[in-house]
């Protein structure tokens, strides 16, 4: 299991480096990440039924949110707007879909919302100090870095199970 976690961390860091450097990421990394996440879940003793349910809910949430944002921009621009045609990269979408294959529902929502806020803050600070500004935010790369840190902390420092909502429910009900 340690080797699998190290492979996941390596892929996450590769996504970060590629997105920061080139504003693009090799597409094959996302299916690899999905398979590594599924493998880790199975090694942790999760059932295929439980994994499938969590993945389905996560993808459903992401699809609904993606549709709502598309509809918003379509109404705003008074024509159908494809988010992946300039507003959001395919790497950003595929990275979030890959996370759907590992995180429990509440963990996915927690990471998704928190990482969007943190990426925005990090990017604004970076742009403030940068010599050259850019309108393209390396969302997948920065989220991959945040998830690499978050997952490493949960795996090796704080024993939190990211495939279970128990820890978040305890925090919410305290």
Angle at 53 between CA 49 and CA 59, to 5 degrees: 140
Higher pLDDT, 20 or 135: 20
Residue 150 tokens read as: 């978050």
* Mean pLDDT of the chain, nearest integer: 93
Quote the pLDDT of residue 82.
84
What DSSP letter does each residue of 49-111 carry, written as one string?
HHHHHHHHHHHHHHHHHHHHHHHHHHHHHTS---TTTTTS-HHHHHHHHHHHTTS-HHHHHHH
**Which tokens belong to 69?**
């944002």
| Cβ(70)–Cβ(78) below 8 Å | no
The pLDDT-based confidence of 77 (bands split at 50, 70, 90) is confident
The token pair that represents 107 in the structure block: 């963990």
pLDDT tens-digit series, residues 98-111: 999 999 999 999 99
Q: Which residues of 133-148 are buried (b: 16+ CB within 10 A; e: fewer)?
A: eeeebbbbbbbbbbbb
CA distance 135 to 39: 36
Predicted pLDDT of residue 28: 96
pLDDT tens per residue across span 113-125 = 999 999 999 999 9
Q: Which of 26-40, 62-76, 77-91 has the lowest mean pLDDT?
A: 77-91
In terms of pTM, does the model score above 0.85?
Answer: yes
Task: Compute CA distances 45 → 49, 59, 164, whole Å.
Answer: 12, 22, 12
Q: Give yes or no for residue 88 having a pLDDT over 90.
A: no
At 135 the pLDDT is 78
Task: Render pLDDT for 155-173 as a digit per residue (tens, 0 to 9).
Answer: 999 888 899 999 889 888 8
pLDDT > 70: what percent of the chain?
100
Q: Which pLDDT score, from 0 to 100, does residue 32 have? A: 97
**Dihedral angle computed from the Cα positions of residues 138, 63, 72 and 117, in that order, rounded to the nearest 10 degrees:** -40
């Amino acid at each position: 299991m340690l080797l699998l976690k190290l492979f996941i961390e390596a892929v996450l860091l590769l996504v970060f480096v590629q997105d920061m450097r080139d504003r693009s990421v090799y597409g094959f990394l996302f299916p690899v990440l999905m398979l590594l996440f599924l493998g880790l879940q199975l090694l942790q003793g999760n059932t295929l039924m439980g994994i499938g349910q969590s993945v389905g809910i996560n993808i459903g949430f992401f699809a609904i949110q993606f549709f709502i944002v598309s509809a918003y921009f379509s109404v705003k621009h008074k024509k159908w707007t494809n988010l992946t045609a300039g507003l959001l990269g395919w790497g950003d979408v595929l990275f979030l879909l890959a996370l759907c294959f590992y995180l429990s529902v509440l963990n996915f929502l927690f990471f998704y919302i928190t990482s969007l806020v943190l990426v925005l803050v990090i990017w604004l600070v970076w742009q403030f100090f940068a010599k050259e500004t850019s309108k393209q935010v390396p969302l997948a790369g920065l989220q991959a870095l945040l998830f690499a840190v978050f997952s490493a902390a949960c795996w090796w420092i704080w024993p939190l199970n990211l495939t279970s909502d128990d820890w978040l429910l305890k925090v919410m009900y305290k």
